[in-house]
Amino acid sequence: MSAVVSKIREPLITGGKSYHDITEDLCSPTESVPNATWIFAFVASVGLLTVGLFCIFWTIWFGIGAWNLNRTIGWGWDITNFVWWIGIGHAGTLISAILLLFRQKWRTGVNRAAEAMTIFAVMCAGLFPALHTGRPWFDFFMFPYPNSRGPLWVNFNSPLLWDLFAISTYFTVSLLFWYTGLVPDFATVRDRATGLRKKIYNFLSFGWTGSAKHWQRWEYLSLVLAGLATPLVLSVHTIVSFDFATSVIPGWHTTIFPPYFVAGAVFSGFAMVLTLMIMTRKILSLEDYITIEHIESMNKVILCTGSIVGVAYLTELFVAWYSGYVYEQFAFYNRAAGIYWWSYFGMMACNVISPQIFWIKKFRRNIFITFFMSIFINIGMWFERFVIIATTLARDYLPSSWSYYYPTWVEMGIYIGTFGLFFVLFLLFTRVAPVVAIAEVKSILKTGGDQYVGKNATHAHHHAASHDHGHDSHDDHHAH
């Protein structure tokens, strides 16, 4: 089969790789002894995780009073962090599912790592509501099952319960999707390994052989799962937004929340993918697979979603004025000029204003600026959730219950701990599984490799209008 690739497209795999080179490059991290950077990062992450575990233990031992929540501020850092992590967990499925449906080929370079990141981020997120219940050993009460308490059922009308369903479904489906993609790549690792490693990877690869019929079903499965995961990923942050928007609290009850939360989640998710991938490509020498082209594409998504979020911020602000509803107007006045003005400022500066530099191509293709911006955006998106949650709750309808919320060291420690958990898992993942999807990269080699497309292509066949469509004056690359 031939595929036509426009001459204007940039290559997605550089270095003139052959299929075998791809296997070598992408399998080698799982086969070598970790280098010093990895070990140092791993030890540091375990250290952070230990801090987190200690604070979790502290919370369980002394109760939720170890946090600075009070009667009006029922949600503080816990839910802020929960929404932040869940948001980060959106990029993986977006990249693998939505970009698969939209046939954006650049996704193959980053989808594997982004999906892994999704799964780890959702794990970090789930920790917060689980602890926030106060008695985590009773968390199974949240699931509807016939019980001896009445039978007293959970409240199916509550957005908090919808959230439980959404997040557990999202976690399960993301895991299945990710693992199904990994199976053929585990087989590749298996066939290069010997002894015990071969046994382990055969176990992990489920006995994959690469038979044509299996590939056919595998592609079907990937496509249908992508089709299912696309509305699913929209639904997750939509339902998170319902947690706020179904209420009658000014600043929370606004109909734009669902799509605006989703855009924000994609925004922060891509920022985290960039943070991780810029480090990973450097440490594992994957510059030929995660090219500047990939980074630029992701920066465009960031610019787009950042602007959508900006439109939503301004819409909210405008409609608060337009509504003629004093409480709504106060809520937004309070965000911008109240006690937490700095977090509103941080949110606007990091999320809306600073990403606008990506209008300039030079900045989109600059790794240092991209890395810096990706961290900036993650901070900004954390502020966004803090603005929505803490600012609003600290200035309730009733001025006598107004207070100023700040976290205790326990709350901070748990947040730090989730970074530990996240990085421990991610670092282990880079040693165990190929960080870039081997089979998928191979399947785009002939439409994305720099020996086939782009300015320096050597294998390109001159395409002499084998089809008659009038004036075919541009020679497209016909890669065979």
Partner 1 sequence: MNNQFTFEGKQRTTLIGFIILGAICLGLSFLDNTVPYHMRFWSNFLHNTVFFTGISFISLFVLAAFTTAYGGWYVVMKRVWEAYSQFLIVGLLLMLVIIAGVWGHFHHLYHWAADGITDPNSPAYDPILAGKAGFLNKYWYTFGTIGFIGMWYFVFAVPMRRISVAEDTEGTTDFEHHERYRKFSAFFLPIAAFSSAAMIWQWVMSIDSHWYSTMFAWYSTASWFVSALALTIMTIIWLKSKGYYEQVTDEHIHDLGKLLFAFSVFWTYLWFSQFMLIWYANIGEETIYFKERVTNYPVLWYGNLVMNFVLPFLILMRNSTKRKYGTLILCCLLTFFGHWWDFFMMIKPGAKINADHAYHAAHSAGGDHGHAAHGVQGFVSGFTLPGFLEIGIFLGFLALFLYVVLGQLAKASLVPKNDPYLGESLHHHV
Partner 2 sequence: MSAHKEVLYGLYDDEEIMLDAIRVANKQHLDIMDVFTPFPVHGLDPLLGLEESRLHIAGFVYGAIGTLTAFGVMTWIFTRDWPVIFGGKPYWSVPAFIPITFELTVLFASIGMVVSFYTVCGLAPGVVNPVLDDRITDDKFCIAFQTNGLSSSEIDKYSSFLKSTGASEVSSKVI
List of residues contacting partner 2 (CB under 8 A): 1, 3, 18-20, 23, 144, 150-153, 155-159, 161-162, 165-166, 169, 172-173, 176-177, 180, 183-184, 187-188, 190-192, 202-204, 206-221, 224-225, 228-229, 231-232, 235, 239, 242, 438-440, 442-443, 480
Q: Are 51 and 417 in contact (CB under 8 A)?
A: yes
Residue 190 CB, nearest approach to partner 2 (Å): 8
Return the closest-CA partner of residue 109 out of 462, 393, 436: 436
The only residue of 176, 314, 353, 360 in contact with partner 1, by rule CB under 8 A: 314
The token pair at 366 is: 């600059």
Query: Using the 8-state DSSP alphabet, how is residue 387 labeled?
Result: I
The token pair at 316 is: 């909210």
Which element (helix H / strand E) includes 479? strand 477-479
Residue 449 bridge partners (DSSP): 13
The only residue of 322, 342, 397, 404 in contact with partner 1, by rule CB under 8 A: 322
CA 236 to chain centre: 12
Mark 99-124 as b/e (b = at least 16 C-beta within 10 Å).
bbeeeebbbbbbbbbbbbbbbbbbbb
| Pick 70 or 443: Cβ nearer partner 2 | 443
The only residue of 82, 242, 344, 426 in contact with partner 1, by rule CB under 8 A: 242
Residue 140 CB, nearest approach to partner 1 (Å): 27
305 binds partner 1 (CB under 8 A): no
Count other C-beta atoms under 10 Å from residue 371's C-beta. Answer: 17
Residues 72-101 that bind partner 1 (CB under 8 A): 101
Q: Are 392 and 331 in contact (CB under 8 A)?
A: yes
Q: Are 259 and 123 in contact (CB under 8 A)?
A: no
| Pick 206 or 318: Cβ nearer partner 1 | 318
Residues 405-464 that bind partner 1 (CB under 8 A): 463
Residue 212 binding partner per list partner 1, partner 2, none, with a CB distance cut-off of 5 to 8 Å that depends on partner kind: partner 2
Return the closest-CA partner of residue 335 out of 267, 385, 379: 385
Q: Are 160 and 241 in contact (CB under 8 A)?
A: no
Return the closest-CA partner of residue 203 out of 182, 221, 222: 182
The only residue of 192, 197, 253, 431 in contact with partner 1, by rule CB under 8 A: 253
| Pick 63 or 231: Cβ nearer partner 2 | 231
Residue 228 binding partner per list partner 2, partner 1, none, with a CB distance cut-off of 5 to 8 Å that depends on partner kind: partner 2
| Pick 105 or 190: Cβ nearer partner 1 | 105
Count other C-beta atoms under 10 Å from residue 293's C-beta. Answer: 19
Q: Where are the alpha helices (DSSP H) in 284-407?
A: 292-323, 326-337, 341-347, 361-364, 367-386, 392-394
Residue 46 binding partner per list partner 2, partner 1, none, with a CB distance cut-off of 5 to 8 Å that depends on partner kind: none
| Pick 174 or 334: Cβ nearer partner 2 | 174
362 binds partner 1 (CB under 8 A): no
Half-sphere exposure of residue 143: CA atoms within 13 angstroms, side-chain side = 9
| Pick 144 or 259: Cβ nearer partner 2 | 144
Residue 183 binding partner per list partner 1, partner 2, none, with a CB distance cut-off of 5 to 8 Å that depends on partner kind: partner 2
255 binds partner 1 (CB under 8 A): yes
Q: Using CA of residue 375, residue 376, residue 380, residue 383, what is the dihedral sign?
A: positive
Half-sphere exposure of residue 449: CA atoms within 13 angstroms, side-chain side = 23
Residue 458 binding partner per list partner 1, partner 2, none, with a CB distance cut-off of 5 to 8 Å that depends on partner kind: none
Convert residues 186-225 into a mask of x (bound to partner 1 by CB under 8 A) and - (unbound): ----------------------------------------
Binding residues (CB under 8 A) for partner 1: these are 2-9, 101-104, 231, 234, 238, 242, 245-248, 253-259, 300, 304, 307-308, 311-312, 314-316, 319, 322-325, 359, 463, 467-474, 476
